[in-house]
Amino acid sequence: MNETELLNQIKSLIGEDEISDDCASFEFPDGKILVSSTDMLHETTDFPKGMTDFEIGWMSTAVTLSDIASCGAKPIQILAAVGLDNPKRLYEIMRGACFCAEKYGAKVSGGDIDSHNELTIVTTGFGIVEKKNYLRRFGASVGDAVCITKIPGRAQAALDGYEKYREFLITPKPDVYEGQKIAESGASCMMDVSDGLALSLYYIAETNNVGIELDLSSAELPDVDSEKRLEYFLYGGGDFGLLFCKPQTSLSDLDIDFTVIGKIVEGSGVKLGSEKIEKRGYTHSFE
């Protein structure tokens, strides 16, 4: 059973909208939206061997900040629940978490500690965004440009041994500033690409009931052996860039680094040239 099948079981309890977005949302009477997201990470699955506890704390916080960024929100607070296999690890983990939060304008303001067989960290973050700037996966229109920040695939390349990309795997940098700029500039939808670009493209296509035609002529691919470039770019997980759609006419309003990789079309699926790309990436499997 994969994660999507399992989530489908609880759609009726939580609500379809809530299940399908990166963050939960709550609207205040003054028109601001509180977005929140929680992420559970644990040692054997999520923290590559050789990471320091500081890096583990950083990564745990960055994952949640990336979800908040993908709504166009400004992160304000992080709570960290840490299940410790060894209490001596707490200080460095929290130092990494606090350092990451503060770098992106948020603060670790609380949490819980517990002992656990295997190091387990759950970070929950919340952020604020004006309702008019709040972005979700839904919202794309036919004709919109499909755009990304950063170069997807570098975290996966690092996991496979390309040491020069290690920082993208170990201390990933959430696009918090970029997310707010994208939202303020009138994008139509956004999500992050942490499960791989291809899966995110399919989520956007399916949520909006449209197709996507890719054109990678402007895209920079990871600088790896040539036969792996496209594989990593499309299907590698663990990167913290943003995928967003935006009317072609307003692309010049956006003053950050980004790359147009395609456009929204009528139909369904995600095509590169005449072929549909595969719908695969990082999905958790439950046995």
40 lines the binding site for its own copies (CB under 8 A) = yes
Residue closer to its own copies, measured from CB, 120 or 200: 120
In the bound state with its own copies, the residue whose beta carbon lies nearer, of 24 and 270, is 24
Residue 149 in tokens: 């920040």
Binders of its own copies in range 239-278 (CB under 8 A): none
Helix axes 90-103, 53-69, angle to 10 degrees: 30
**Chain centre distance of CA 251:** 22
Establish if 39 lies at the interface with its own copies (CB under 8 A). Answer: yes
Q: What angle do CA 40, 101, 24 make, to 5 degrees?
A: 50
**Is residue 49 part of the contact set for its own copies (CB under 8 A)?**
no
The rounded radius of gyration (Å) of the Cα atoms in the chain is 18
DSSP state for residue 285 in the 8-state scheme: B
Helix axes 176-184, 53-69, angle to 10 degrees: 0
Q: How far is the CB of 82 from its own copies (least distance, A)?
A: 8
Smallest Cα–Cα separation from 178: which of 107, 261, 104? Answer: 104
Candidates 70, 120, 180, 194; binder of its own copies (CB under 8 A) is: 120
Which tokens is 143 given?
A: 């004709």
Question: Which of 164, 187, 166, 171 has the alpha carbon at shortest distance from 242?
Answer: 187
* 52 part of the interface to its own copies, by CB under 8 A: no
State the Cα–Cα distance between residues 85 and 89, nearest whole angstrom: 8
18 binds its own copies (CB under 8 A): yes
Tell me which of 31, 115, 164, 225 binds its own copies, using CB under 8 A.
115
Choose the stretch contacting its own copies; rule: CB under 8 A; options: 38-46, 150-158, 195-203, 274-282.
38-46
State whether residue 139 is helix, strand or coil: coil
For its own copies, the binding residue among 65, 80, 197, 210 (CB under 8 A) is 80
Strand-pair category, 269-272 with 211-214: parallel
124 lies in the binding site for its own copies (CB under 8 A): yes
**Binding range to its own copies, per CB under 8 A, among 86-94, 181-189, 195-203, 225-233:** 86-94
C-beta of 86: minimal distance to its own copies in Å? Answer: 8
79 binds its own copies (CB under 8 A): yes
| Chosen residue from 52, 103, 116, 268 binding its own copies by CB under 8 A | 116
Cβ atoms 182, 255 nearer than 8 A: no
Angle between helices 226-235 and 197-208 (to 10 degrees): 40
Positions in the binding site for its own copies (CB under 8 A): 1, 3, 6-7, 9-10, 13-15, 18-19, 21, 23-26, 28, 30, 34, 36-42, 45, 76-77, 79-84, 87, 90-91, 94-95, 98, 108-118, 120, 122, 124, 126, 284-287
